[in-house]
Structure 1
């Protein structure tokens, strides 16, 4: 590595990506050493962040307590006049003006190298995750397996949830914290990487760690930003690669490829940044054996793509993988698509504009069969927290700062809400840990079998997944996204599906897939409303006795 790459710019990627119709807020980059970055990641809200997260920080710092039954009362400085729209529902006034688009770009130029002599200090500071004193009780050590046990205990999928403070220790069995990912048990860390953004109105939303050790290389693809709140009381997802050993000297750069082409796909993704510093990481990857990888890489990279280039990224990349590497199953047209996410972009005037046309056609693909599939009949279930989900969560209303669905977008697509289902995760003990994880899958009509499963950074938006332009001849993507796709064929299953692991804590066969929320999903009731971050909720207090007035 060159000396210039030892200290790069660090950033925290935004949770929003509805850039096509809302103001997009991105964290401004800051130039710092890895040690400084670690301190900033755990010390509190010193970064510029999304408006929704800013509101959550404000309400945590200055909560509005319930007073005389339903009136909010500020505990700190004088409160401003409360906006007129309030309650568990939300206002659909036509006077709500959209926020203007801003062409800011988040940049994190190149890679940040952790010097070997500073490794222990840096890892300690990044992993400390300072918590409020009332939440610092340790989990019983005899109930939670250590990192080594988790990575070598038969988890063939290498898919993990993050640990959550405030739930029973048994529900954290098999979960990881950032300090586990950075544990010396995984290797002697030498360096790690961050990346940048070049296109306006998008976000660098990928959450990935490239960890280079003395012993080899590891890739971690996850859904958590490097801030305390994301590793504290939220449901997040992690895919942790095997330790990739260095190839013998003189080995060809194409050696060490997996059956899933993970190595070449990762290299292509990194090269899409056009960053000289990341090209150094490409050379590091070429020197390692990634042949053990059993997942497919699925990314998005900002740009406009035509011809064969369209199938490299976004939902068309998923469509291509599903056609080439899955098989038809009986009655597959009755198998619904399930999408679960933490943010929502503009879907258009009705479902035919994107959701139930190009997007569903991609997610409903199974097998490369000449028969025309009736994808337009495949059911879609969308899992997104209700107002009560957020109100009753471990964090209370501030958890909604990570669910930045705005009133400006919601009021233009009321049709979308008929697809919504509640967030429920009783079987994993995480119903009250709001999701920042994003998952998509195809499941049987009896919700017992899974044709494929994807964990990704991509929320439900055209900016993340791409949208057709020029009568379908061009795919436009605005954001960087990254996820991994689990297919039954790569795990020795010729049935065409995984069995659902109905209880994440049980000792079911390793071929049973651990979906992180309850199936079948429960449809919104007549009184349920999706969480909207930028309107007040003052009719009922949250789990901390507080109200929500974001402005």
Structure 2
């Protein structure tokens, strides 16, 4: 039997291929409301952007939540947006709670994309890269992790007296539960059993997380010092790799990394070096010489890939990289998302034409024939998201909320007779690839060559093993160390939102015409308004957008 990682993409409306690896938001949130065991008791939805009308039209069963529906967002006026929606009267106000997480450091945002749904059957945890807006789910490329966990069997009723905040047993299931609880604590969402305004702090102990396939990597804003600095952001990556991989890598081969994101902040050399170091922290001697610094491939779409995408120029609004944030380190490591003129000439819509909003970071094998590990996350490449080391490396400053999952060779779905589902009427399908779905099958290599166990596979929306470099990337790499000052080849240039864009897009519009008619191609007014407000804020504070 093939070992499958719990990794899915979103279903693109324009694609006619129905792939088991492509999910809709309805797949994650909908239940059979006639089955009381399926109806949600608690739901927590966290995101950066919400379109209330669309969200509840897609998943009306959310309004049947028995005890509490939590909506977590950094957006101002979320409660008012809901009260003015057509669904505001469909749920008792006592059963819905709006949470605006604290942002203790300037310029931070709540960027996590998360759904936790509890019913009588168990708990569903979904972590993804899409906002709760229609175009994110129907037109862009996203990544999705989701797993269902059953209720523990034959356990005594958990009481507050018997509740232990952190289980000290060191296995993946307990780590998953504890990391999730640690992250949710930052929302101040847990409460005593007698307080109906929160999630009971004993609730997670009712579920069996033993089949958790992934590790969690979160970012919580604040100044994290001492050992706490290794619980979040890039500190968490470093400590996780050290604990899982220490001693399995040597320094004889140059480490290979792929970074893929939809935006980047104002980067510094020190930050980039620390990100590199965190992702190779399992190497015994971490004092990596220049000769053995990782080789990094940055996968990011070109201007032509945005122009020729399903959304045309408008798709670039979700890639808000600004000229002031471009960095030489990134410029000479750029690789295309994967859509080319040849694809256009085939006159066939492919997944490659969907602008990437997914964020993924991974370590490749030295032979570039498989992956060592993968991180799927909401976090773009920025100091706000991953943190910045301060005070001689003793303090990690993080500005934003982020959440992601870590896949390795143990990250496969455990299947006995059948896959457990908290929604038997609508189970999540096992991921697989079908002809024409545009997904690439990639293996995660086992840490040690023992036994004959198969290696788990993911179906990714791009090829991290054989990306196509920008023409300028090849030119910069070839001229490195020489005095060649030739003008850069402009054939491939990265999408940068605040420079002039010329020509007609795939929808026959020029850039300014596309901006004026954005509502006609499924972008909500709320999304555009939020982007414009953030753009103004950035210009005022000279900082980067990080959506």
1:178 aligned residue: 25
1:544 aligned residue: 507
Matched-pair contact (CA < 8 Å) for 2:176–2:212: yes
Correspondent of 2:135 among 229, 239, 248:
229
Correspondent of 1:218 among 108, 111, 124:
124
1 CA distance for matches of 2:190 and 2:244?
34
Alignment of 1:293 onto 2:212: yes
Correspondent of 1:335 among 248, 255, 260:
255
Matched-pair contact (CA < 8 Å) for 2:2–2:456: no
2:90 aligned residue: none
Matched-pair contact (CA < 8 Å) for 1:456–1:484: yes
Map 1:25-174; keep pairs closer than 5 Å.
156-170=4-18, 172-174=19-21
Alignment of 1:319 onto 2:238: yes
1:27 aligned residue: none
2 CA distance for matches of 1:273 and 1:546?
43
Matched-pair contact (CA < 8 Å) for 1:257–1:291: no
Matched-pair contact (CA < 8 Å) for 1:257–1:263: no
2:362 aligned residue: 441
Correspondent of 1:191 among 42, 47, 60:
42
Alignment of 1:465 onto 2:386: yes
Tell me the alpha carbon deviations over residues 335-355 of structure 1, each in whole angstroms, 9 at most, x when there is no partner. 31111000110012xxx3211
2:459 aligned residue: 514
Alignment of 1:304 onto 2:152: no
1:366 aligned residue: 282
1:218 match: secondary structure: strand
Tell me the alpha carbon deviations over residues 392-419 of structure 1, each in whole angstroms, 9 at most, x when there is no partner. 1111110011101112323xx3443112
Equivalenced residue count is 383
Matched-pair contact (CA < 8 Å) for 2:129–2:143: yes
Tell me the alpha carbon deviations over residues 87-140 of structure 1, each in whole angstroms, 9 at most, x when there is no partner. xxxxxxxxxxxxxxxxxxxxxxxxxxxxxxxxxxxxxxxxxxxxxxxxxxxxxx
Tell me the alpha carbon deviations over residues 329-388 of structure 1, each in whole angstroms, 9 at most, x when there is no partner. 46674231111000110012xxx3211x11110012235x35755485211111111101
The alignment yields a C-alpha RMSD, in angstroms, of 3.1
Matched-pair contact (CA < 8 Å) for 1:197–1:203: no
Alignment of 1:353 onto 2:270: yes
Alignment of 1:482 onto 2:403: yes
Task: Using the TM superposition, give the Cα deviation of residue 306 of structure 1 relative to its aligned residue in structure 2, in angstroms.
Answer: 1.1
Matched-pair contact (CA < 8 Å) for 2:220–2:400: yes
Query: Closer, same or farther in 2 for the Cα pair 1:505/1:416, shift >3 Å?
Result: closer
Query: Closer, same or farther in 2 for the Cα pair 1:513/1:329, shift >3 Å?
Result: farther
5+ residue gaps, structure 2:
45-70, 73-99, 192-196, 344-348, 414-432, 444-453, 472-488, 517-547
Tell me the alpha carbon deviations over residues 475-507 of structure 1, each in whole angstroms, 9 at most, x when there is no partner. 100000000101214559xxxxxxxx9984779
Tell me the alpha carbon deviations over residues 293-344 of structure 1, each in whole angstroms, 9 at most, x when there is no partner. 0210100000001111110100110111111102524667423111100011
1 CA distance for matches of 2:358 and 2:442?
24
Query: Closer, same or farther in 2 for the Cα pair 1:187/1:168, shift >3 Å?
Result: same
Correspondent of 1:417 among 324, 331, 336:
331
1 CA distance for matches of 2:325 and 2:147?
37
1:338 match: secondary structure: strand
2:149 aligned residue: 243
1:401 aligned residue: 317
Task: Using the TM superposition, give the Cα deviation of residue 288 of structure 1 relative to its aligned residue in structure 2, in angstroms.
Answer: 1.8
Tell me the alpha carbon deviations over residues 59-105 of structure 1, each in whole angstroms, 9 at most, x when there is no partner. xxxxxxxxxxxxxxxxxxxxxxxxxxxxxxxxxxxxxxxxxxxxxxx
Query: Closer, same or farther in 2 for the Cα pair 1:154/1:285, shift >3 Å?
Result: farther
1 CA distance for matches of 2:8 and 2:378?
15
Tell me the alpha carbon deviations over residues 173-202 of structure 1, each in whole angstroms, 9 at most, x when there is no partner. 421001111232794323311333312311
1 CA distance for matches of 2:8 and 2:189?
30
2:307 aligned residue: 391
Matched-pair contact (CA < 8 Å) for 2:263–2:381: yes
2:353 match: secondary structure: coil
2 CA distance for matches of 1:460 and 1:305?
19
Matched-pair contact (CA < 8 Å) for 2:10–2:141: yes
